Amino acid sequence: MEKIKIGSAGPLIGKLGLGCMRMSPVWNNPGKSEKESIAAIHYALDHGVQFLNTGDFYGAGHNELLVGKAIKDRRDQAFISVKFGAVFDGALLGFDLRPTSISNFINYSLVRLGVDYIDLYQPCRIDDQHLLEDIVGTIQDLIHAGKVRHLGLSEITPQQLKQAHAIQPVAALEYGYSLANRQLEKELLPLAEKLGISVVAFAITAEGLLTGQLKAPLEANDHRNRFSCFQGENLKHNLEKVALLADMAAGKNCTVAQLAIGWVNAQSKNIMPLISMNTPKELGRPYRRWIFNSPRTN
């Protein structure tokens, strides 16, 4: 597998990451079989995927416990990324990014994961109620204490990225990026490359829009209904464009999802596509040729 350096001072690891969120009960998703989820993580590790993305609020801690079981006795093979800060009670209530809370969150994450340190620790968002300097400064203290190796940030503005990087070097920026959402390209991607910050791209199939499997309309309880691109005529219009991608994919002897993943992977050596698959079967067939061989797709 191709390699990517996490930040200017971070390790060189496999260029594709595994998003573990949907292995847990989130967004009206009941979660997956623990046995199959752990097998999927093991399959990824066996094939050079080291970056495991989780969050302390995914399934109210369930996801961290799951990842912890999967990496037991395999800690040296895994690069663990943890997001924190979101407060849920069925629905999102807000964010808690107070320094005392962050210092508390990290300890719970370490216990659930069964590890002594977290490789990449990042607030899931930066809101208007908390000072960026306090958040980054607290993570800097955790780095000095040996509980965290690298600072990460998620879905922030260019100005916030520069401000945070001036306090503590940012190793990775997590941001939504796909053929259907190219906002990252305007400012943040060039800025991250200039500062030596790796980009972890999530939602690379646009919440399933770019899989070729989606049909209109969505079920009433589908969490994607809150996004405008999945609503009414917007969804029908977008699916017409996906049909064009299906024709292109057929010409390349791949699926639409494979084409979408390959496109993100090909945009920059500084981008790590985050793949969200829940079973060894999903990881091994039909994606294996495209994911684990990391082809270039123009």
Spatial neighbors of 114 by CB under 8 A, at least 6 apart, are: 68, 69, 71, 72
User: What is the distance between the alpha carbons of residues 5 and 10, in angstroms, rounded to a whole number?
Assistant: 6
Question: Quick one: 279 exposed, middle or buried, by C-beta within 10 A (0-12, 13-18, 19+)?
Answer: middle
* Residue keyed to tokens 């405008």: 228
User: What is the distance between the alpha carbons of residues 173 and 182, in angstroms, rounded to a whole number?
Assistant: 15
- Phi, psi at residue 276, to the nearest 5°? -110, 95
User: What is the distance between the alpha carbons of residues 194 and 22, in angstroms, rounded to a whole number?
Assistant: 33
- Phi, psi at residue 271, to the nearest 5°? -105, 130
User: What is the distance between the alpha carbons of residues 4 and 10, in angstroms, rounded to a whole number?
Assistant: 10
Closest-CA residue to 230 (of 210, 209, 244, 260): 209
Q: Give the residue extent of every domain in the chain.
A: 3-208+255-291
pTM exceeds 0.85: yes
User: What is the distance between the alpha carbons of residues 82 and 65, in angstroms, rounded to a whole number?
Assistant: 12
* Residue keyed to tokens 């009960």: 25
Q: Provide the pLDDT for residue 270.
A: 94
Write down the CATH superfamily of domain 3-208+255-291: NADP-dependent oxidoreductase domain (3.20.20.100)
Task: Name residues of the chain where pLDDT drops below 70.
Answer: 28, 284-298
Residue 127 CB-half CA count within 13 A: 13
Spatial neighbors of 111 by CB under 8 A, at least 6 apart, are: none
Catalytic residue numbers read 58
Quick one: tokens of 229? 């691109």
User: For residues 41 and 8, is the Cβ–Cβ distance under 8 A?
Assistant: no
